[in-house]
Every structure is written in C-alpha cells, then in structure tokens.
Structure 1
Amino acid sequence: MTKRQQLNDLIDMAAGRKKADLLITNCKVIDVFNQQIVDGPLAIGHGRVVGYGHDYQAEQVLDAKGGYVMPGLIDGHVHIESSSLIPTQFARCILPFGTTTIIADPHEIGNVCGLDGIRYMLDASRKTPLDVRIMLPSCVPATPFEQAGCVLEAEDLAELINEPGIHGLGEVMDYPSVINHDEKMMNKLWLAKDHDRVIDGHSPGVKGKDLVAYVMGGIMTDHECSTTEDMLERIRLGQYILLREGSTCKDLLNLIPAITPANARRCVLCTDDREPADILSTGHINKSLRLAVEHGLDPVLAVTIATLNAAECFKLKDKGAIAPNYIADLLIVEDLVSFNAKHVFVAGKEIARDGKLLVEWEDYVSDSVLNTVNIPELTESSFTLPLKTEKVNVIGVKPGSVVTNHLIMDVKKDRNGNFSVQENPGLNKLAVIERHHATGNIGLGILANYGLKNGAIAVTVAHDSHNIVVVGDNDADMLAAVQDIKQMGGGFSLCQDGKVLAHLALPIGGLMSDKSAQEVADNLHEMINVAKQSFGINPAAHPLMTLVFMTLPVIPQIKLTSTGLFDVKAYQPIKLCVE
C-alpha cells in the first residue's frame, strides 16, 4: 500500500467508514494539548492514532479495564553504554516500562572506537522496536588534555550526519571552546546548524555572560542543572532543561519546586546514566513520573513533560501526543500514581504486557568494537609514585556525587621517597592507564575518603576517554586487577592478595556486556557486596561508580587522566606535588 492509499485508509477509519485495526476500550486518554483526561475508546490504524472519544469499530479490541492511555515515554538524554548493556539488551530492559523513544549520545563508545563505535550503535539499535535517535558526539575526547581511542572532528562527524537515525549533535561539554569560539568546535556547531539539527548542552557551573555566550552557540538543552537557580536562568535564555534522574546523578527532586505552569513546557525528563539493577527494580522514565507526582507535580503535566515536551524539543515529528495521525507509540497504566505499564505499543503494535516482552529480536555485536584493551606489559614498578615534596594535591571523594573535592594534604614518603599507603593510612593510590594505543602513559595520583584496604579495583568504564582506572593500597594487587581487565577485554575487576575475588567482563568496547540486564545486574550486585565486605570501602561511596567518574575532566573539582592530575576549575593540568 502506498503512503497516499494509507492516508486515504486512515481518513476512512477516522470518519467511521472503515474499521480501524485496533480499538482500545474502557480507557481514559491523556490529552497533553488541553491538559485534560478524556474518555475513550481509542482507535489505531496503520500504526497511527485514528481518533478517540467516538464510536469506532475495529478488527481487534483491547479492554484497558479503566486504565489510562498516554503517549510513549521519551528519554531526552541517555548513554546506552553506561548501562553496561548493548543496544539490543538495553531495549529489552526499558521497553516494558513504557519508554519507546530515546535520545542517545554514544560518546562513550565514540571515545573508544570512533565512527565504528557509532555505526555499531546505529546498526544494533535498528534491530529493536525501540526508537533510538543518535546524537553525534561533540567532544571526543572531552577535553584536549585526554588520551581517548579516537579524535572526532567536524569532518569525521560529517560522514554520518545524513545517516538515518542520526538526529543531532551530542552534549557540548567543552564549553570553554564554545565561549571562545574555538574553530574546531565552531565547525561542529555549524555542521549541526547547516543540517537543522538540535545541539545538546552540558554546562555545569557556567553562569552570567559566559552562559549567554554558550547558549548563543545554538545549544538548546542542558541536563546538568542541580539547583533551581541554574534551571531558571537557562529557561530564561531559551533552553530546555532535561530533568535528570540517573543512578548516580539525581537532580529531579531538586528541580521540581521550580516547575510552574508557565515554564513547564521547557522541561523534559532524562536518565543520562542508569544501571540495569535500578531500571529493573524501579523503572525507567516511568520512575521519574512517579517521583514527580509524589512530590506535587500535576500528573497530566508530568506526562506532558515526559512526552510532548521531549518530542517538540528534539523535533520528533508525529510523536509525544495522542492525536489523529500521530504515531501510535502508547502505554496503558493502571493509575497516574505508580505509572506501572500494563500494555506498551510501538507504532500500534503491542510489544509488552505486564512487564513482559511479547516480541523478540536478535542480538548484534560487531568485530569493530571488540579487542579494545591495548596496553604494554606492566610491572609493579609501573605504579611507583615518587614524591618531590610531602605536600600534595589529593582527589577527595564526595559520596553520592560525581563532583570531587580538591584537597591539599601533607603526606609521608617511604624510605625510597615514594608514596605508600602503608605510610599514609586512609589514602589510596590511583592510576589511570592509557588503554587504546599502548602508549604506556600512566597518570598517578592520590585518593582520599574512598577507604579501600587490602586489595585493588580496576575498571575500563571511566568517563569519557575510558582508559583503565585502578585504585589500591598495594602495587601487586593493582597489577593483578589490570591483568585481569586485559584478559577479559575490559570490565570491572576486584583483586585481593593476588587473586580475583569478583569480576564482570565488558568485552564490547570495554564498556558493554552482551548478557541480559538481569545477568549484568546480578553480577554487579555481587561485585558491590564483595567490595563492601572485603575491601573496607567508605560505606557512603559506591565502590564502582566512584571510579567511573574519577577521570571526567569536565566535572569539578579535580580529576585524574592518563596524563596526570587536572584542575577542572582552572581548566589545566596540575602537578601532584605542591612546591
């Protein structure tokens, strides 16, 4: 059937001259345009909404049993890789909760595998019913001071800008380059502008004229607001605010008090980074809806934020609402409190019921994203940390936050003039090993308030360049953990007394597993328990996620990369020793 014939068919269905494909009866429909709840039934044909509230006939009938029909939920900003799941498994994880569209920024795999990584995410996503809109990573690497697996410039991104599924330019973390109109960054902005694409933002702590200059670059969103003041300032400048509720960063409840009927249309929901255990136990975007309503937001307004606002922000044609000719991405919930999805539809086809998928698809892994851990042979001496002075810059862990404290502390040298945990109880040695090109570069630093004792933990998930991060209280276990990481092809490893106590292999880019969400969640749960019970880690700090963000040089205050310590506020490298 041609598109013209299909439209004629839909008009006949809407007029009642022809039966619709599906009729959802005994339902209430969320009208996001009028902010009302309207009685059904709701008719669907050719994967689109035909109409509701009238006497329609259909080939199939579904009794919603008094449930509420709402548009499919949209995640306005997410990194699939941060779930440790490949796209096909990620889709299996979130679709039963009613999220039918995501705006995905693959800058994690982009930092490891470049364009090949982005192509893999595109190809894998196409195998699923989930509508995945890919934003081209704008900052690979995140800053010029890092050693990522690849460097992506505007001319590289141009190769994919017209590829189906590519939707815009991902979060622009390098805000100094925008404010100072650096030529390379401006080329990326112009690439997006020339193709009429949305540009995502990332500007924590930027204020005043600097923020105005940043927004002038055409950057339409920000998911880094943690205070109502930041949120209102950005809305005033015309940005959309992505209200984040992730596993590590939870800003939604801080920002809800600033939402009013006047500014709510500039708000969108997002997760950014969510662990599979969190999703499986509490939901996805429907969790954010539940929290928002619990804390006083009108349910219909909350649904609008989760659907229509995101669709309009990201120029998603025919999505985000229930109206004639809109794509029938829908979910039916029992109530507007729990937002538990009873039925989930993608383009008019029911794909999940009562939390269980009704359809299946194949997994997909490409050779282009395997074998990404490339390091030279290391020895215990690779982790030797000589001290020129006994006053040093130290990274202070802030439990529950990706922000760190910049501490200046007095430490003791061992008899060889090196830093040793045994001489400095309460501190740990931290190393970042370049793992893409086997350069041998190792950044060494000191970590406070983490509390690891008798062992080491190593990870290859380390935003955003994803080099190997290893923390420990002795060099032998640090080496053992890194060797285990190399053997697995990436992942998480916990070593004690030279033995691997627990690990999780992430062979896809050193970031993702091809296992199911439940398997990954169970494995991570085991690792966290082992870390807490056997390593004495600060109980307020997440044993793994703390390390994952220890290398991100766009989040204050001080971080460690494979080239050494980096002062985020000063935006420059600094030395370990204070002279």
Structure 2
Amino acid sequence: MPSKIKTALGTHKAELVLKNGKYLNVFTNELLEGTIAIHHGYFVGIGDYEGIEEIDLQGKTVIPSFIDGHIHLESSIVSPYEFACSVIPHGTTAVIADPHEIANVTGTDGLDYMLKSTEDLPLDVFMMLPSCVPATPEDENGAKLTHHELVPYLREKRVLGLGEVMNFVGVLAEDKELMDKISSTLAYHKRVDGHAPNLVGNEINAYITAGITSDHESITEEEALEKLRKGMWVMIREGTAAKNLSSLMKLFEEKYHFRCMLVTDDKHPGELKYHGHLDYIIKKAISLGADPIFAIKMASFNTAKYFRLPEVGAIGIGYKANFIVTSDINKLDILEVYKEGEKIYSKAQGLRAFMKPAVDKSLLKRVQSTFNVKELSPSDFIFEDKPPYTVIGLEDGQITTKKLILENLENCTKLAVIERHKGTGHIGRSYLHGYGLKEGALATSIAHDSHNLIVAGTNEKDMALAANCVRNNEGGLAIALNGRIIGELPLPIAGLMCERNTDEVEEIMKALKEQAYSQGVSKNIDPFMTLGFVSLPVIPEIRLTTKGLVEL
C-alpha cells in the first residue's frame, strides 16, 4: 500500500476520491470546489486525483462531521452503544462526555464503566473527569472522587481534562481539594471546563484565573459576551431541558463565532430520534439567521480546536476523513456519514453494523446494584408546615428556578427528595410551583447530580407508590394514579440508563410523558428532566436536597 505522502503527490491512486462536489473550508470560511483524495483514513489531497474507489458527488457538499463539546451520555437514558446508534445518523462522530452523573452514584466504577462501554465505537467518545463528586459538600450522593483518585485517569488518551467545575464557590474560596484537581489537570496540559451561571465581574475574573477556560451556562447575551471578552470559550447549549440558543444568537456573528461551540449537555432519546443532535441546533440557528458556515464550524472545528484534537474537525490535508455528505448546507440533510474514510451511515442503507463493547460482568453488576433505601410509606410524605410557604418556582425553558414566598399553595405540587445511596433515611420536603400536576405522582432516580430518589405528587399514597416502584426497579421512572402504577421505565444501570434500544425507550418515554401531561403537568416543560434538575444545588436560585431547601 503506497504511503500517504506518495498518494498526496499523485503518483499513486488514493483509496477513495470524491469528485464533482463542493467542500466547506473552515480555515477560510468558504465553500469551494475540488476533488478530494482520502488515504489510510486521512485527507491527503485536494486537487487533481484518481482513486481506487471514486464517488461522483453530483454537486453535493462535504462538511466536517460534528463534535458535541459537552454532553452527559447518561441523559440519553440508553447505553453508550445505543447512544452512538442514535447520533451517528445525525452526523455526529465524536462527543466529549462528562460522566459525573454515573460517577456521583458509583464513583470510579462509573468512570470505568463509561470508558469500557465506549471502547472502539465508530463514535469517538472522549471524557472529561467529573470535578465535583459530590457537586457540593452538602449533597448526599453515592461516592466521593478525590484529587488522588482522578489523577491516574488523566493519563488516559481519551480523557481530555476536568469536567464542568460546578463548585464555583469552592474555586473563589480556593478550596484545596478542588484546586489540586485543577492544577493536576493543567499539569497534564489538559482543559478545565466551567459551569458558572450568573458569575460576573471580579468573581468571573477569579474563576478564569484559576485555569477554567469554558462555560456552558450563559443564559443572556450580556453574560456570554463578558465571558468571551475575558478570554473564555462559550458553549451554546440547546438540550432537552435547557435551551439557550435563541438568546445567544449574537455569538454567531463573525467576530464572536470562532470562540464558541454548540453543545447539548442533556438530551433525551425522543429529542435525538425526532429532532436530531447537533444537526438540529445548526438548523435552528440557521432558521434564526446564523451563517451556516459559522454554525457548522461551531459544531466541529471550533470544538476540536478548544479540546486540542489536532486531526479532526476540518476538511483539510492531514486531518482524519470524518465527514458528512449533504445536498445543501442550509437544509443540512445528512445523506452519508464517514469515519476515517469509511462510510458508517447512509440515508439509503442505514447505519453500518458494529460490535457492542464488552464490559466486565463484575463491573456491570456493581453499577446495576445502587439502591439502598427502605420501603417508603405514605407517612413519609406528610408535610408539617404552615404559611407563608417557601416554594421553588420553575421557569419555562430553563433549569434555573426562583424562590417564591406564598400564602397559599395554588398551582403547587408536593415535592420530596429521598436519599437512596447509603440508607440514611433523609427526606427533604417542599413545594414546586409551575409544574402543574393535578393528580397522582411522578418519581425518578434521575435527580442531578446526586441522583437521589425524587417524587412529585398531589397525595401521599401515590407518592409512596411511585417512589417504591423506582426503588424496586433499582432505578428509573414511574407514574402512580389512584393507588396503582400506570407507567414505568426501569433504569438499572446506576438508576440512570438501560440496555434497551432507543426506539423502545422512546416509545415508553413518550407514553409516560403523555400520561404526565394528562395528569396536568405543564406542556411547556419536560415532566421528568425538569423534575430531575429541581434537586441540583449548583444552579440558582433555590433547590431541594435530601436535607431540605438550599438557596444560591
């Protein structure tokens, strides 16, 4: 087989040549015409070439395949293998995953499971180490990851750095353990991602000074621009629960776009199936006025550049031949997806079959046995309080909340968070405004980031029934109504994921959501994902943990 250099010189035929098409040049922001030569999985030439295999593009366009710069695979509810099957047809060939959800349940077992279950997939899964396990010192989660436990993972090739540093209070106070994690990551010349909602002025200056170089929590244009102007990279998030794209459209302008990335953060299976992945965000951005070239770069080249992945993200000489064939960059229809020069998906033939990575049985057993909580009774959900009531107020389209002081509980739902890892018996109780539930109860073990058992309901009996269903299933989702379970989805992998395929999970999820809406849950929110964020104490303004209400 001739070398890449000889093939680039044109003295030998390339393995694959793409003719009669256009390609997106991310270096000069141009759509250009040219014959593209691919050899040994790399782009080796753009010019005049012949190939062993030649494809006539018939005017179609080649663009870089997509890279999601910040996602929690656990939020897809399916295994990493099934996640890969879901996103590759949408043009994604790489993700940077932060496994802090499963790590908060099972510690290093969770990290090992995510690394093993993503080996040798046609989707490149890179990892950012969870920086805050637990998310805050007050959280009751299943494990604690110290600086010493994380350092060995920094030697892993697929580990690109330290994941979102949610404990910005600890950063500003120079917490020694947290600073050791950051300094160790920087010593390995790897990235430290941020998580700094509403942090401005001197506080964001100090946060950046600690070595944190990105943020995905900007909600307003002003907040995002301040972070950009102070040297951060901004991740524009459009996921299932948090949707920030519309308010951050200014960042798609030429003078800003090169320091920005498109990310999903959390994405439910139905969103992946019916709407898409990063292709959905790009198409939405284009519909809101974004230049398609800039939008595509923000989902490919920019992400690779930030994470120091030198061989991906571009149609350029010396880059891996990871690309998409589309008929129109404005419509962004995904016709074919290639990984290192091999076709792994076509709209006509579907996804190429690939092997599911093997996970050690003992490791799998450990991440599937994570519940340690007694059977619950209706008396556990009796609230002893009186007005005025401190209530968590939901905000449509956001995961932020507002503290409300109310004299009555109109449009409020009972809310409880039950510690489920160590059998402490702790239960936090409060009320949720704007959720809309009128009857019955919903329960879930997806409760960021500690993933305790969370239940919302209108009566104690149904709350206990839904909570016990999730407990008995070793995790998952459940809906109770009038004293019986009317819908459930077991999620035995750490109480977060299952081995079922995406289509099957989506059908169950769709039925569960429709049932939740029929019981009154507001149609402006995702019933389960919204509920799962209500106990996350690093997001303003007020949250419920196993120990009670927490304010930021």
Whether TM-score is above 0.5 comes out as yes
Please, which of 350, 354, 360 is the counterpart of residue 354 of structure 2? Answer: 360
- Determine whether 1:396 maps to 2:381: no
- Determine whether 1:18 maps to 2:2: no
Unaligned stretches of 5+ residues in structure 2: none
- Determine whether 1:481 maps to 2:466: yes
Summarize deviations over 1:322-369 as a string: whole Å, max 9, x none. Answer: 112211111111101121111111111110001721232226552221
Report the secondary structure of 2:261's partner residue.
strand
Matched AA of 1:379: S
2:206: which partner in 1?
213
1:70: which partner in 2?
63
Q: 1:436-451 alignment to 2 at 5 Å? A: 436-451=421-436
Tell me if structure 1 keeps the 8 A contact 2:252–2:294.
no
Tell me if structure 1 keeps the 8 A contact 2:99–2:130.
yes
Q: Tell which deviates more after alignment, 518-527 or 398-407.
A: 398-407
Report the secondary structure of 1:159's partner residue.
helix
- 1:299 Cα deviation after fit: 1.9
1:456: which partner in 2?
441
Summarize deviations over 1:239-278 as a string: whole Å, max 9, x none. Answer: 1111111111111221112433222210111111111111
2:278: which partner in 1?
285
2:498: which partner in 1?
513
Q: 1:185-196 alignment to 2 at 5 Å? A: 185-196=178-189
2:545: which partner in 1?
561
Summarize deviations over 1:157-212 as a string: whole Å, max 9, x none. Answer: 11311123111100001111111211111011111111111010110000000000
> CA separation in 2, counterparts of 1:363 and 1:480?
36
1:117: which partner in 2?
110
2:38: which partner in 1?
44
1:544: which partner in 2?
528
> CA separation in 2, counterparts of 1:129 and 1:346?
7
Q: Tell which deviates more after alignment, 520-529 or 59-68.
A: 59-68
Matched AA of 2:524: A
- 1:541 Cα deviation after fit: 3.3
Tell me if structure 1 keeps the 8 A contact 2:440–2:457.
yes
Matched AA of 2:79: I
Matched AA of 2:200: K
Report the secondary structure of 1:101's partner residue.
strand
2:402: which partner in 1?
405
> CA separation in 2, counterparts of 1:398 and 1:301?
30
Q: Tell which deviates more after alignment, 477-486 or 356-365.
A: 356-365
Tell me if structure 2 keeps the 8 A contact 1:88–1:364.
no
Please, which of 77, 88, 93 is the counterpart of residue 86 of structure 2? Answer: 93
1:416: which partner in 2?
none
Root-mean-square deviation (CA, aligned residues, Å) is 1.5
Unaligned stretches of 5+ residues in structure 1: 1-5, 412-423, 569-579
Summarize deviations over 1:110-131 as a string: whole Å, max 9, x none. Answer: 1011111011111111141111
> CA separation in 2, counterparts of 1:253 and 1:451?
25
Summarize deviations over 1:60-101 as a string: whole Å, max 9, x none. Answer: 122222111011111111111011121111000001111111
- 1:425 Cα deviation after fit: 5.2
> CA separation in 2, counterparts of 1:297 and 1:391?
47
Q: Tell which deviates more after alignment, 441-450 or 467-476.
A: 441-450
Q: 1:328-347 alignment to 2 at 5 Å? A: 328-347=321-340
> CA separation in 2, counterparts of 1:193 and 1:43?
37
> CA separation in 2, counterparts of 1:244 and 1:288?
9
Matched AA of 1:361: M
- 1:227 Cα deviation after fit: 1.2
Please, which of 504, 508, 512 is the counterpart of residue 489 of structure 2? Answer: 504
Change over 3 Å in CA distance of 1:335–1:187 after alignment to 2:
same
Q: 1:42-191 alignment to 2 at 5 Å? A: 42-52=36-46, 54-191=47-184
> CA separation in 2, counterparts of 1:159 and 1:374?
29
Which consecutive segments of 4 or more residues in structure 1 shift more than 6 A? none
> CA separation in 2, counterparts of 1:203 and 1:81?
22
- 1:449 Cα deviation after fit: 2.4
Matched AA of 2:14: A
> CA separation in 2, counterparts of 1:233 and 1:55?
46
> CA separation in 1, counterparts of 2:254 and 2:394?
38
Matched AA of 2:260: C
Tell me if structure 2 keeps the 8 A contact 1:171–1:200.
yes
> CA separation in 1, counterparts of 2:108 and 2:184?
16
Q: Tell which deviates more after alignment, 280-289 or 141-150.
A: 280-289
- 1:563 Cα deviation after fit: 1.1
1:379: which partner in 2?
377
Change over 3 Å in CA distance of 1:399–1:169 after alignment to 2:
same
Report the secondary structure of 2:464's partner residue.
helix
1:351: which partner in 2?
344
Matched AA of 2:398: S
Matched AA of 2:372: N
Report the secondary structure of 2:258's partner residue.
helix
> CA separation in 1, counterparts of 2:102 and 2:242?
21
Q: Tell which deviates more after alignment, 551-560 or 303-312.
A: 303-312
> CA separation in 1, counterparts of 2:293 and 2:525?
36
> CA separation in 2, counterparts of 1:22 and 1:162?
35
